Amino acid sequence: MKRLLAILVLMLTLVSASYAQYSEAPAVTPFAFNVHGGYSYLDGVLGADFQYNHWGISGGWMPQYTPYYATPVPSWGIAGTWYSGYYYESSVYLSLGVASAGYVVEDSYYGYYETYPMTILMGGYKWAGNNFYLKCGFGYGWCEYVGSWTGEVTLGYAIFKMK
């Protein structure tokens, strides 16, 4: 039994060593921490994101106002994202997240308003440069009472990165 285990470990070691030697995979898993600004219910007007390998998490703050009395209602967004490339490569992406005040209902007579969190599914393209990136996407958001189409355009800057 010990020989079988030793042979299995040796085979796995050889396969993984040959894969690392001849593959296009980077020696270190690439990651980056970015700050961004733009228009997005998921990423906010101001926000940050972290991308590790092909996965990312992002969030930010989006100011909005009630329709009638223009009462400020801040919304916070958070999303998980899959990218088809690493952070330094241009790629398509797919995000799923929540905006804390994605839907606002206001009573025009009394000025009372209520907010509802909205789940948003967003897809788009990310153009990556050396330190900057531009994301443009289109998606759909829904909550208990309504559904709505939305879009995003954000410009990001890499504060810390490892290639």
Q: Which residues pair with 125 in a beta bridge?
A: 92, 136
Residue 3 lies in a domain: no
pTM of the model: 0.79
- Asked whether 78 and 59 are in contact (CB, 8 A), the reply is yes
- 3-state SS class at 7: helix
What is the residue range of 155's domain?
28-162
Q: What is the CATH number of the domain that holds 33?
A: 2.40.160.20
Q: How many CB atoms lie within 10 A of CB 139?
A: 21
- Taking the alpha carbons at both ends of the chain, their separation in whole angstroms is 41
Residue 49 lies in a domain: yes
Residue 1 lies in a domain: no
- The total domain count for the chain is 1
Residue 155 lies in a domain: yes
Residue 23 lies in a domain: no
Residue 114 lies in a domain: yes
Each residue's pLDDT expressed in tens, for the chain with a length of 163 residues: 556 555 555 555 555 554 444 456 666 789 999 999 999 999 989 999 999 999 999 999 999 888 788 888 999 999 999 999 999 999 999 999 999 988 888 877 777 888 899 999 999 999 998 899 999 999 999 998 899 999 999 999 999 988 8
The reported pLDDT for the residue numbered 96 is 96
The reported pLDDT for the residue numbered 91 is 96
